Amino acid sequence: AENAKREGVTTLASGLQFEVLTAGAGAKPTREDQVRVHYHGTLIDGNVFDSSYDRGEPAEFPVSGVIAGWTEALQLMNAGSKWRLHVPSELAYGAQGVGSIAPHSVLVFDVELLDVL
């Protein structure tokens, strides 16, 4: 909730929050598209749980094949954009959690949309 008060943060009806770090001018993907992204995912306390930057290569996946918060955000992004997402648990892994992500965790992602494939 505190994050929503920060300048530059937009909160959508779903509860997803985003901040545009870099505005791109490329195409916007649809649910049916595949995308290439770089991302860095942390828990709200800053602990990293996944990062394509750390692996040294971008990830490719279908827009509809990821957590709901990403599916929503990616369709709003232009290729070339970099956004910081605050994803509420109900748009991420919810009550189940996964791996090092505890149930009901808010996730923070820096997502760079490199290409719509």
Residue 104 in domain:
yes
- pLDDT at residue 4, rounded to an integer: 84
- Cβ(72)–Cβ(14) below 8 Å: yes
Domain at 44, CATH number: 3.10.50.40
Question: Does residue 39 have an active-site annotation?
Answer: yes
Residue 71 in domain:
yes
Domain of residue 111, residue span? 21-116
Residue 47 in domain:
yes
* pTM metric for this prediction: 0.95
Question: Does residue 49 have an active-site annotation?
Answer: yes
- pLDDT in single tens digits along all 117 residues of the chain: 689 889 999 999 999 999 999 999 999 999 999 999 999 999 999 999 999 999 999 999 999 999 999 999 999 999 999 999 999 999 999 999 999 999 999 999 999 999 999
Active-site residue, selected from the candidate residues 18, 61, 67, 110 = 67
What is the residue whose two structure tokens read 């008060």?
5
Cα gap 41→8, rounded to integer Å: 20
Active-site residue, selected from the candidate residues 18, 53, 109, 110 = 109
Active-site residue, selected from the candidate residues 44, 54, 93, 115 = 93
What total of structural domains would you count in the chain? Answer: 1
Active-site residue, selected from the candidate residues 49, 61, 110, 115 = 49
- pLDDT at residue 2, rounded to an integer: 83
Question: Does residue 61 have an active-site annotation?
Answer: no
Question: Does residue 54 have an active-site annotation?
Answer: no
Angle CA(14)–CA(16)–CA(22) in degrees, nearest 5?
Answer: 140
